[in-house]
Amino acid sequence: MLRLEVRPQPSARWSYASPLLALAITVVIGVILFAALGKDPVRGLQVFFWEPIKSPYALSELMVKATPLLIIALGLAVCFRSNVWNIGAEGQYLIGAIFAAGVALTATKETGGWIVPAVIAAGVLGGMLWAGITALLRDRFNANEILVSLMLVYVAVQVLNYLVYGPWKDPMGYNFPQTKTFESVTQIPRLMQGSRVNIGLLLALAGVAAVWVFLFRTYAGFAQQVGGLAPAAARYAGFSSRKALWVALLTSGGMAGLAGALEVAGPIGQLTPYVPAGYGFAAIIVAFVGRLHPVGIVFSAILMSMFYIGGELAQSRLGLPKSITGVFQGLLLFALLACDTLIAYRIRFTPAALRATPSSGRHQPPGQAGSALPVDGTRPTSETTEGAR
């Protein structure tokens, strides 16, 4: 009989091993999937894990895709650690892109280089504004942030469609639903010739450092997370949950907006209906797989970027639909959540006869008050049943 037993301490080892095990499970399922579809599994693995890193150019493309994922996931890590469930990063990313495009479209041939910081600032502002709606409705009216932030994604997509099919449509664009290509002065400066990597990557890495310092080296960052781990303790300490809510949403919204700005003014260079690429949703997985830790997120962003590039290559080289990326993304998160059980629990094989005398609930995890749910899986999530005995 298989049984889960609460560990006295969450296992530090498993909290590192779990993402790797999850990746291994995803790869195994992927191999089976390739075989079932009649494709060479070795070729499949090559496309996902070797092609994206085999040349300097491939590596630079890997970084181009990893940058927005990294930036958005960093913001979400702050958010999820505060137990605020912002799952509408895709919408905040879009509104950020739209705001940035709005500034970029004002540029003319004579515009100076100041336009780049303005474009970026507009993106951040747009993302914060969109997340601010969720924060306001949650704070003022107690509306569920999961549903509100998600609904706002659909609204943001329609706002984008309205602009590119309507007022912002390029009059010289043969009636395609897209804005004119931004002036080259608005282009986010690239790091080197011959690759599309731009200063967004540096901003992202600076973000890693900033989020790390905020979360682990500042009092404000500590207060921010206590509300997520133990709401009762946070209340007792006098940490404002409302402030934590606003900080969480404005940070993640601003970061998502930043990613949107870097994307439209960087690799894309105009606003089209294809700006939403699912980065906002993929970043949720990136954040979890990276253990909601800034450094972990760097690795998981690169992994997720491989999934994206691998999906595109699978389409062109193996004739598989690009959406295979989404399958692997979902599988990875599923596998991760299942593997995370091992952090808080040990698997025990017990003979049926011994089941009558279980070791009673000796571990009462803190922070189960209210609707608070630990999100990082580093602590047991079970409520033991002392009351029932």
Partner 1 sequence: MEPTALLIAASLNAGTVLAIASLGLLINEKAGIVNLGAEGMMLCAALAGFATVVHTGSTAAGFAAGMAAGALLAAVFGLLVIWLNTNQYATGLALSLFGGGFSAFAGTAYVQEKLPEQSQFAIPLLADIPFLGNALFKHHPMVYVCVGLVFGLIWFLYRTRAGLVLRSVGESPESAHALGYPVRRIRLLAVVAGGALCGLAGAYVSTVYTPLWVEGMIAGKGWIALALTTFATWRPARVLLGTYLFGGVTMLQFHLQGMGVNVPSQFLTMMPYVATIVVLVLISRNPTWIRVNMPASIGKPFYPGS
**Judged by CB, which is closer to partner 1: 98, or 116?**
98
Q: Which residues contact 351 (CB under 8 A, 6 or more apart)?
A: 1
Which residue in the set 344, 367, 378, 379 belongs to the binding site for partner 1 (CB under 8 A)? 344
Q: Residue 4: phi, psi to the nearest 5?
A: -100, 135
Query: Is residue 17 a contact point for partner 1 (CB under 8 A)?
Result: no
Q: What is the dihedral of CA 214, 220, 221, 227, to 10 degrees?
A: -170
Q: Which residues contact 230 (CB under 8 A, 6 or more apart)?
A: 366, 367, 369, 372
Query: Is residue 383 a contact point for partner 1 (CB under 8 A)?
Result: yes
**Judged by CB, which is closer to partner 1: 63, or 101?**
101
**Judged by CB, which is closer to partner 1: 56, or 321?**
321
Complete DSSP assignment for 80-109: HHTT-----HHHHHHHHHHHHHHHHTT--T
Cα of 206 vs its chain's centroid, Å? 17
Query: Which one of the spans 151-159, 198-206, 209-217, 261-269 is the region binding partner 1 (CB under 8 A)?
Result: 151-159
Cα(188)–Cα(100) distance, integer angstroms: 11
Cα(365)–Cα(373) distance, integer angstroms: 11
Query: Which one of the spans 40-48, 112-120, 218-226, 282-290 is the region binding partner 1 (CB under 8 A)?
Result: 282-290
Q: What is the DSSP letter of 355?
A: G
Q: 319: exposed, middle or buried (C-beta count within 10 Å: 0-12, 13-18, 19+)?
A: exposed
Which residue in the set 288, 306, 378, 379 belongs to the binding site for partner 1 (CB under 8 A)? 288
Which residue in the set 16, 57, 154, 236 belongs to the binding site for partner 1 (CB under 8 A)? 154
Query: Is residue 374 a contact point for partner 1 (CB under 8 A)?
Result: yes
Task: Tell me the angle at which helices 200-217 and 241-263 cross, rounded to the nearest 10 degrees.
Answer: 170
Inter-CA distances, 55 with 50, 51, 310, Å? 10, 8, 14
Cα(274)–Cα(166) distance, integer angstroms: 16
Closest approach, Cβ 267 to partner 1, in A, equals 23
Query: Which one of the spans 70-78, 102-110, 152-160, 180-188 is the region binding partner 1 (CB under 8 A)?
Result: 152-160
Q: Could you tell me what percentage of the chain is helix, strand and coil, using 3-state DSSP and rounding each to the nearest 5? A: 65, 5, 30
Residues paired with residue 198 on neighbouring β-strands, in sequence order: 190
Binding footprint of partner 1, residue count (CB under 8 A): 65
Pattern 290-329, partner 1, x by CB under 8 A = -------------------------------x-xxxxxxx
Token digits of residue 148 = 């509100």
Cα(363)–Cα(386) distance, integer angstroms: 10
**Judged by CB, which is closer to partner 1: 26, or 186?**
26
Query: Is residue 368 a contact point for partner 1 (CB under 8 A)?
Result: yes
Pattern 81-110, partner 1, x by CB under 8 A = ----x-x-----------------------
Residues 58-77 that bind partner 1 (CB under 8 A): none
**Judged by CB, which is closer to partner 1: 21, or 327?**
327
Cα(125)–Cα(292) distance, integer angstroms: 24
Query: Which one of the spans 47-55, 179-187, 259-267, 277-285 is the region binding partner 1 (CB under 8 A)?
Result: 277-285
Residues 347-366 that bind partner 1 (CB under 8 A): 358, 360-361, 363
Closest approach, Cβ 310 to partner 1, in A, equals 13
Longest Cα–Cα distance of the chain, Å, equals 84
Q: Residue 347: phi, psi to the nearest 5?
A: -90, 130
Which residue in the set 77, 79, 152, 215 belongs to the binding site for partner 1 (CB under 8 A)? 152
Cα(103)–Cα(344) distance, integer angstroms: 49
Residues 106-145 that bind partner 1 (CB under 8 A): 137, 141-144
Query: Which one of the spans 61-69, 95-103, 182-190, 371-379 is the region binding partner 1 (CB under 8 A)?
Result: 371-379
Which residues form the interface with partner 1 (CB under 8 A)? 4-6, 85, 87, 137, 141-144, 146-148, 150-152, 154-155, 158-159, 161-162, 165-166, 281, 284-285, 288, 321, 323-331, 333-334, 337-338, 340-341, 344-345, 358, 360-361, 363, 368, 371, 373-375, 377, 380-385, 387-389
